[in-house]
Amino acid sequence: MTVSTEDLKALFVRIAEAMAREKDRLCELDGVIGDADHGIAMELGFSAAAKAVSELDSTTADPTLVFNTAAKSFLNAVGASSGPLYATALMRAGAVAKGKPSLNDDDMVELFAAFARGIQDRGKAEIGEKTMVDAWAPAAAACRATRDQGLSLPECLAAGLKAGEAGAEATKNMIATKGRSSRLGERALGHIDPGAASAVVIISCFKAHFTS
Ligand code: ADP
Ligand code: MG
Ligand code: MG
């Protein structure tokens, strides 16, 4: 598969549309264990990112510029803790694309892993702390493992989505030790982490976008 600047611009539009649809559900999840703004933050961030990348000239903009532009707009639009986390993820994705006019399957799998790693590096959360890392880390690992078996990008992203969904579901049985919900202690038990839920939304957009 060859992923162009145009494909990546359209990916951001897809994610922004998905976040608009999921906004209320994500706010409700955050209302239970946080401050009820997660859907607003994600919708604001990705709509700002989609708007900014849509304005880039595809004849001159490369994939790195798409991700860097998205990172900057996301950070400017979002005051919540997800702002710097996703801005770092997007910058790391941009760094993987550096110097490449288009991306192949290996690049995309590496980019996906760098995106996930960026969230972990920025927020310092490990698996099991009831954050978005519980969806992103297993998704990236499954994506890479599937590529190592020689399978194509859609199959890698399908495996990533499955692992991300399982990871998000597993946050129900976790006590938060990072972020706002860490103040709740055991009261957070039984509730899915909103950041893990929105991570699944993003991962499903990646999968849908690169599955023809
Ligand atoms: P805020 O808590 O500032 O209102 P959001 O509601 O946008 O921010 O995001 C909350 C989500 O951010 C949580 O559900 C969790 O998944 C994620 N999160 C918080 N802190 C961290 C961290 N240190 N590392 C990774 N993810 C985190
Ligand atoms: Mg919140
Ligand atoms: Mg908030």
The pLDDT tens digits for 27-44 are: 999 999 999 999 999 999
Instruction: Tell me the residues surrounding ligand 3 (ion) with CB < 5 Å.
Output: 35, 37, 80
Give me the residue spans of the domains in the chain.
Answer: 5-209
Average pLDDT over residues 92-107: 98
Question: Ligand 1 centre from 102 Cα, in Å?
Answer: 32
| 92 within ligand 1 shell (Cβ under 6 A) | no
| 107 within ligand 1 shell (Cβ under 6 A) | no
ipTM over 0.90: yes
| 163 within ligand 1 shell (Cβ under 6 A) | no
Q: Tokens for 194, please give them.
A: 């909103």
pLDDT at 212 over 90: no
pLDDT at 169 over 90: yes
pLDDT tens readout for residues 126-141: 999 999 999 999 999 9
Averaged pLDDT score across all residues of the chain = 97
What percent of the chain is modeled with pLDDT above 70?
100
| 193 within ligand 1 shell (Cβ under 6 A) | yes
Ligand nearest to the CA of 194: 1
pLDDT tens readout for residues 55-88: 999 899 999 999 999 999 999 999 999 999 999 9
What percent of the chain is modeled with pLDDT above 90?
98
CA distances from 120 to 23, 37, 131, 155, 192 (A): 24, 21, 10, 24, 19
Average pLDDT over residues 186-210: 97
Say which residue the tokens 């997800």 belong to. Answer: 82
| 45 within ligand 1 shell (Cβ under 6 A) | no
Q: In a mutational test of the pocket of ligand 1, which residue from 25, 115, 131, 169 has the highest number of ligand atoms less than 8 Å from its CB?
A: 131
Question: Ligand 3 centre from 212 Cα, in Å?
Answer: 37
Residue 111 — very low, low, confident or very high, per pLDDT cuts 50/70/90?
A: very high
Question: Ligand 3 centre from 55 Cα, in Å?
Answer: 29
CATH C-level class of 5-209: mainly alpha
Question: Ligand 1 centre from 110 Cα, in Å?
Answer: 24
pLDDT at 195 over 90: yes
Among residues 5, 32, 52, 47, which one has the least CA distance to residue 171?
32
Q: DSSP letter string over 74-115?
A: HHHH--STHHHHHHHHHHHHHHHHTT-SSB-HHHHHHHHHHH
Bridge partners of 103, per DSSP, are: 3
Backbone angle region of 130, left / alpha / beta, with phi > 0 → left and psi within -120 to 50 → alpha: left
Say which residue the tokens 């110097």 belong to. Answer: 99
